Structure 1
Amino acid sequence: MKLPRILLLASVLLLALFTLSASAATHWDKDDHEIFELQSALERSEGKGATFYSVLNIPRTASAAEIKRAYRKKSVELHPDKNAGVAGAQQRFERLGLVYKILRDGRKDRYDHFVAAGFPKWRNNGYFYERYRPGLGAVIVGVVFATMLVEVAISRLTTKQERAKIERLKMSARLVAWGPRYAAILASIRHPPAPPATVSKLATVEKKVRVPITGFTLPAFPSDAQIKSNAVDWDALETQTRNVLVSATGDGAPIVDCLVHAADVLLLDKFSGDYIALDEDDAQPAQFHTTWPFRLVAAVINKITGKHEDVLAEVDDTTQGPANPVKNKKNK
């Protein structure tokens, strides 16, 4: 994907997420949040379903004069001087003053609306946005950081699959080169037997093989602990492998050329004609310093300076030369 397309997609994504955040934040205003906070505190103190009107013991249709009289009566009842030693008396008195303040001004209609329609679940993005007021820069940084986390998480999920594919291909190449006893031969290479026993001669000879990538699933290779404790039945494992080969259905499976020598398995690069060592450790999950923002910055620098390859440029197979092997080359 070319650099302008990367920038365009990133810009569209950031703009869309910022728009969603802003729309969620402007759903309620500051007065609404004050009403929500006071209503929540009132229900915690007076019980579920309590309202400003129930605290004053008046109906919702009460006039301004009735609300004033009810407030004066209730304020005398809840005054801290008359409730000395009562826990929360001061808070209840202050809360009563806030209730009266809302009911006597223009916010009364807004409160009546929420009483009739129901109070929303207001502690969401809008609430926190109003509280902390992040700017455009903070929102962009948050979105970028979130996408970096997603990239790292996805990379860690796929890395395990990639490592399993490499190990499966290596085992398949050994099977073709050494036969159904390949697991026992590999175990003797990794854990050489004590004299006079020796490693199989098959493992000491370089052998070129053609291997189907799919079509069968080999038995699991024993762990090092099982091998060292001589707890592996190699004859049974060989029998399982033969049964797999009998039922294999490699029809139409892609074929690759490999070179097997001892514990090493190398894959033929069809462009350069060199063999490249297969290594599970080559499949590594992305780190934060290798996620897309860092790659994007590196690509921009490369584009400007022209000193390095543009890592985001599209490769045209019709104009590019043979690819160079990148690890542990071994000539054909």
Structure 2
Amino acid sequence: MRAFLLSFTLLAFLASIVLAWEKEDHEIFDLVSALEAAEGKGTSFYSWLDVPSTATTPEIAKAYRKKSMILHPDKNPNDKTIHERFARLGVISTILRNKESRERYDFFYKNGVPKWRGTGYYYSRFRPGLGTALVFLIFVSSGFHYIIQRINYRTDIERIDRFVKAAQQAAWGPKLVPIEGQRKVRVNISEGRTVDMVVDAKNVYILDDSGEKHILDASTASRPDFMNTWFIALARSTYYRTLDRVSPSKEHVSPETSEGDESSSEAPGSGTATPSEGRVAGGKRKRATKKR
């Protein structure tokens, strides 16, 4: 939950910054990038016109006329980039001679052009295809799914440790001095809900109504695995279903299906393994051999 709140806060902060850029800002970003690519890194609107950043509008107009005579296409017939440079000069001169546009540029001139300019800015220039967008969304959502798995795994481990310690305290006392042999105890897992457990010198077991024991330790928690994220799990499930349809006479059992059957099966009538879902830690159970 804490990780989710931090992620949401970060996204909201970035969104507030990105939404602050307007169409005119994006045009300035393009001009800055194009000017540095053509005239050299670090070239600014002012340095290209050869005027200080404090130049007045008449001074900028005068510098523009002087520069335009140098970059005029008629005087540079062999320069293939001259038309583009000449047009860029006119746009830059217009920005600097307009009070509002110049204030926008001066802000980025003093503080620097942002490296991240918003998804809309990059999308409008690179136009990723539908396939690229889908792959990106699948990758991001699968990454978040894996993070959730890790969070759930840590939560399960903490819950298991809490239940194991509670059972050992009930069997051995508050000092947790191990006693030989097995002891059956009843542990309160939530308000008004208890579960029978068996404690011996090495392990703690959950005892179901049939008398069968299921070991309770860290191995019963489901470990995070990128192969179990939603897209890969869906692809594997679809693959095995396709095999079943193509070869109905053969049995194809997917690893996650067989493993899921074992993890989701519960002892008859126990129903008290976890406070929220009826299992102690949301993972797999190991069965101990029932002693006769």
Would you say same fold, with TM above 0.5? yes
Write the mapping of 1:5-20 to structure 2, written as runs, cut at 5 A: none
Give 1:288 shift.
Answer: 1.3
Match status 1:282 vs 2:220: yes
* 1:6 equivalent in structure 2: none
Gap regions ≥5 residues in structure 2? 1-14, 73-79, 109-113, 246-251, 271-283
| Residues 1:44 and 2:42 are matched in the alignment | yes
Confirm whether residue 263 of structure 1 aligns to residue 239 of structure 2: no
Contact 1:277 1:327 in 2 (8 A): yes
If you compute each CA radius of gyration, which structure gives the higher value, 1 or 2?
1
* Distance in 1, Cα, partners of 2:171 & 2:96: 80
Matched letter for residue 235 of structure 2: V
Residue number in structure 2 paired with 1:90:
none
Alignment correspondent of 2:101: 115
1:241-256 equivalences under 5 Å are 252-256=191-195
The amino acid across from 2:171 in the alignment is A
Contact 1:38–1:95 under 8 Å retained in 2: no
Hey, what does 1:70 align to over in structure 2? Answer: 66
CA shift for structure 1 position 322: 4.8
Q: CA deviation at 1:97?
A: 7.8
- Could you tell me the TM-score, scaled by structure 2's length? 0.56
- Aligned match for 1:292, one of 227, 230, 241: 230
> TM-score normalized by structure 1?
0.50
Q: Aligned residue for 2:286?
A: 327
Cα separation, 1, equivalents of 2:157 and 2:229: 20
Q: Where does residue 137 of structure 1 map in the other structure?
A: 131
C-alpha spacing 1:323/1:256, structure 2 compared with 1 (3 Å)? closer
Alpha-carbon separation, structure 1, partners of 2:221 and 2:120: 41
Which structure ranks higher in relative contact order (CA pairs < 8 Å, sequence separation ≥ 6)? 1
Deviation at 1:278, TM superposition (A): 0.5
Deviation, 1:157, is 2.6
**1:163 to partner: Cα distance:** 1.0
Q: Deviations over 1:97-148 (max 9, x none)?
A: 8553224479957995972561474742345446654322122112111112
1:178 is matched with which residue: 167, 172, 175? Answer: 172
Aligned with residue 102 of structure 1, among 75, 88, 91? 88
**Number of residue pairs matched?**
225
Instruction: Tell me, in whole angstroms, the C-alpha distance in 1 between the residues paired with 2:92 and 2:35.
Output: 17
Q: In 1, distance between residues paired with 2:47 and 2:101?
A: 8
Compute the displacement of 1:53 (Å). 6.0
5+ unaligned residues in a row in structure 1: which ranges? Answer: 1-19, 77-93, 186-201, 215-251
**2:57 partner SS:** coil
CA distance in 1, matches of 2:126, 2:196: 60
Residue 8 of structure 2 corresponds to which residue in structure 1? none
After superposition, residues 218-229 of structure 1 pair within 5 angstroms as none
Letter of the aligned partner of 1:295 in structure 2?
A: A
What's the % identity of the aligned pairs? Answer: 22
Deviation at 1:300, TM superposition (A): 2.9
Provide Cα deviations, 1:69-89, integer angstroms capped at 9, x if missing partner: 42256669xxxxxxxxxxxxx
Q: Deviations over 1:25-83 (max 9, x none)?
A: xx68997654231466789335xx738766497837988xx78742256669xxxxxxx
- Pair 36,106 (structure 1): closer, same or farther in 2 beyond 3 Å: closer
